[in-house]
Amino acid sequence: MPDTLLVIEDEALLGAELTRYFQKTGWEARLGRSLAEARELLEGGIEPLVVLADMNLPDGNALDLLEEQRARPGFGEWIILTAYGTVPDSVRALRLGAFDFLEKPCEMERLELVVGGAARSARAHRRLSDERGQRSRRYTPESFVGRSEAAAQVRAMLRKLSGVPLSALILSGETGVGKGLAARVLHHAGRRAEGPLVELNCAALPRDLLESELFGHEAGAFTGAKGRSRGLLEQANGGTLFLDEIGEMELSLQAKLLRAIEEHRFRRVGGEREIKVDVQILAASNRDLERQVREGTFRGDLYHRLAAFRLHLPALRERREDLEDLVPLFIAEQNVIAGKSVKHVPDGVWQRLRRHDWPGNVRELRNVVERCVLFAEDEVFPEQWLQLGGPSEPGEPRVEGDAISIPLDGSMSLDDMERFIIQTALERNEQNVTAAARALGTTRETLRYRVQKYNLKPAG
């Protein structure tokens, strides 16, 4: 179906010529000879990709119609034509979001180029709008699935928090409970849904890289900084910055982050100019931040600034009845991804799912369902691939001689696996970092960073 071009022109000959010309180039061109006719066409349901409008019409100024229509769904790009253009008119047109402001007479070839550019811009805006709409429909408070009272309370809090202008919030709970999902719900269902959502895992980068990633850097700020880089805080301007595992951030960076939150401004690494930002901060941690404040490993002022609002997400073992909603949901998702048709979950499977403690919470459950659906041979959910632990299916990491056995059933996160390996190596080498690093085939500095990351206590 061809795209629609709305021509608003009161000169009969010019209006007819423009309509015929663009119809021949593939447009569905419609003509309105006044603001009233154009308004009637717009209210009748047409959604023009581009509007080509004479500014001065018998019943008013086309800029008034542009201002009136700019908030409607499907709003396209506007090109304003006028024989008597003034500087205030052109300034107003651009302020209202017009794509271009052209003086009559305008050569048809040039006009076609401008219309083509406006069409490309309008298509890009519509794609972004459609994607935002899909995310907004996907990430709602109802996305936190479950029939338990605990899940209902989380949904109620998500609805309440989405309706207020948050500046900062702390999401707490064990690994895998859904803190990332809650952050996306708060953004896409909140007042900043039109802005960007930027996510950063603070445990994934060493201190120097984390500072550069968060605040950006200027060319030459450090070795290898060949050009200017916009940090994630700057990229999140007008939207939300989600800082996962914020408890891993070093104290010096915490001070810089606090200043950025308090003053809405910061400097890039190596920069002199202050950059203003308007960002909502969502912080998550599976650690006890209050305890870290007492121990001096997390700044109290930053914690209290972030903790203006707090939302705790319960562990899956505290809401086992939610398995009856989550398991079918994950099976349906994996059926689509893997091209399977699993429908029936045997009673024995349900019993084992309800008995399991789910140390990895919802993330572990999703991984278990994914594996079982992938290996299913028919419509029955295969019990043999649950691998939830037990006498014949050890679900805990263990050391056997010089070998380490780690379960790959979703019960351990990658961080937990790495922590166990490092802790075992330190114990085997009497807490000596140099000897443990040699045994693991890494450098002393790399191992020291990970020892600090996991809050292990080696002797030297």
Q: pLDDT tens digits for 185-217?
A: 999 999 898 889 999 999 888 877 899 899 988
CA 4 to chain centre: 33
Top-level CATH class of 316-385?
mainly alpha
From residue 126, give the alpha-carbon distance in Å to each of 46, 49, 65, 93: 15, 9, 20, 21
Quickly state the pLDDT bin for 298 (edges 50, 70, 90). very high
Whether the per-residue pLDDT at 314 is higher than 80: the answer is: yes
User: Letter for the amino acid at 341?
Assistant: S
Q: Could you state, in order of their start, the residue ranges of all structural domains in the chain?
A: 4-135, 145-312, 316-385, 413-453
Do the Cβ atoms of 196 and 238 come closer than 8 Å?
A: yes
Say whether the peptide bond before residue 88 is cis (omega within 30 degrees of 0). Answer: no
Average pLDDT over residues 343-368: 93
Q: Is 413-453 the same fold as 4-135?
A: no
Quickly state the pLDDT bin for 237 (edges 50, 70, 90). very high
Quickly state the pLDDT bin for 393 (edges 50, 70, 90). very low
CA distance 430 to 435: 9
> 71-85, 122-136, 176-190, 297-311: which has the minimum mean pLDDT?
122-136
Instruction: Note the CATH architecture for domain 413-453.
Output: Orthogonal Bundle (1.10)
Nearest of 199, 226, 192 to residue 213 by alpha carbon = 199
Whether the per-residue pLDDT at 144 is higher than 90: the answer is: yes
For domain 4-135, the question of CATH label 3.40.50.2300 is answered with yes
Quickly state the pLDDT bin for 152 (edges 50, 70, 90). very high
Q: For domain 145-312, which CATH number applies: 3.40.50.300, 3.30.70.260, 3.30.360.10, 3.40.1260.10?
A: 3.40.50.300
In this prediction the pTM is 0.63
Q: What is the pLDDT of residue 418?
A: 86
